[in-house]
Amino acid sequence: MYILSGYSYHSSKGPCLQLDEIASQPTIRHYVPIWEAYISLNILASKYCIGGFDLTTKRSIPCPNQQEIGSKSLYCSNCNQSIQFNPAFYRVAPSQLSQQQQSYNLQPHAVYLAYFGGNIIKVGIANEKRIYTRWLEQGARAAVVLQCLQDAYAARALEEYISATYNIPERITIKQKQQSLHMPYYFEDASIKLNACRKAIYANLSTLSMDNPIQNLQDAYFRKKQPFPLYESPKESQRTIAGYGLGMVGEVLIYEQQGYCFIQPLKSLLGQVQVSLNEKEVPIPVNIQTQLNLFG
């Protein structure tokens, strides 16, 4: 049995589902590309731990005990302790952080602007070595580095200043990301908006670089052009979600079934769906009235 435990992006194979084979001992972790694959997500009555994370090697680790957990958690107690990462590190003394995170925080970090669609832009920080991965995990459609700094603390101080001074959010909700997928995306439009935002910040912070290129991330999500229109996936009462994988933006899977294209956030399903691939499922009735039509 393969349990959905995460998602990632491969440089050439595109979006991948992270699957834990819990019928084996120890657990075997697989990364399976979704482009042009038939995917079936079967919601289970039980929920399993999605595993921990090694901050030193920057690699996720399957749960060694294949532990069943409560519905409101993603981790068993042992795997939760293994993560040893506090995202609000700037609110506590370094001595209160794990040794792994103390070391990680002292590595170079970058401050960036990320564009999600429409007028949605956020400011954020990421470890310099994984910034591109971070953009894809968030589902940014275009992004640009504002400045690389010596550590996470300097980057966080700049991020906080930019957010407060220019009213740029530090977080974007999954609902906002889903809504942006229903809007046409053009890299030229994204570039204009990111560049205007960057110039406004540069006017008061002339030490920032204007030389970093604005990166178009759309090709990392889709093998072909993004499909339209998109519909909301079948209601939660339906126990199976199945279709042909077209792409994935951040955590949002996009698939085709019976000639319609649907979106399905995956984060809420982690640990509690069994995944089957490359087997064409019996068509499931769809409800096209669930479309989010933002243009009337």
Q: Which of 35-49, 69-83, 140-154, 219-233 has the lowest mean pLDDT?
A: 69-83
Start-to-end Cα distance in the chain: 43
Q: Where are the domains of the chain?
A: 2-83+225-290, 110-220
pLDDT cut 90: percent of the chain above it: 75
More confident residue, 183 or 282: 183
Give the closest residue to 176 by CA, choosing from 258, 292, 81: 292
**Number of C-beta neighbours around residue 227 at 10 A:** 15
Token digits of residue 171:
């977080």
Average pLDDT, the chain: 90
Q: So what's the pLDDT on residue 227?
A: 94
Q: Which of 69-83, 134-148, 223-237 has the lowest mean pLDDT?
A: 223-237
Residue range 252-278: mean pLDDT, rounded: 94
Q: Are 38 and 277 in contact (CB under 8 A)?
A: yes
**pTM of the predicted protein model:** 0.90
**Is residue 295 predicted with pLDDT exceeding 70?**
no
> Binning pLDDT at 50, 70 and 90, where does residue 236 land?
low
Distance from the Cα of residue 28 to its chain's centroid:
23
CA distance 179 to 142: 16
CB neighbour class for 105 (10 Å; exposed up to 12, middle 13-18, buried from 19): buried
Q: Which of 99-113, 115-129, 147-161, 223-237 has the lowest mean pLDDT?
A: 223-237
Q: So what's the pLDDT on residue 235?
A: 67
Contacts of 164 (CB under 8 A, 6+ apart): none
Residue range 264-290: mean pLDDT, rounded: 71
> Binning pLDDT at 50, 70 and 90, where does residue 59 land?
confident
Q: So what's the pLDDT on residue 123?
A: 98
Token digits of residue 233:
């996936």
**Number of C-beta neighbours around residue 207 at 10 A:** 7
> Binning pLDDT at 50, 70 and 90, where does residue 237 land?
low
pLDDT tens sequence across 137-163: 999 999 999 999 999 999 999 999 999
Distance from the Cα of residue 254 to its chain's centroid:
13
3-state secondary structure of 138: helix
pLDDT tens sequence across 207-222: 888 899 999 999 999 9
Q: So what's the pLDDT on residue 33?
A: 95
φ, ψ of residue 15 to 5 degrees: the values are -60, 140
Q: In what order do the strands lie in the sheet with 240-249?
A: 28-33, 14-21, 2-10, 273-277, 38-43, 240-249, 252-257, 260-265, 231-232
Q: Contacts from 257-261 at CB under 8 Å and sequence distance 24+?
A: 257/283, 257/284, 257/286, 258/283, 258/286, 260/231, 260/286, 260/288, 261/227, 261/228, 261/229, 261/230, 261/231
Buried b (16+ CB within 10 A) or exposed e, 250-276: bbbbbbebeebbbbbebeebbbbbbbb
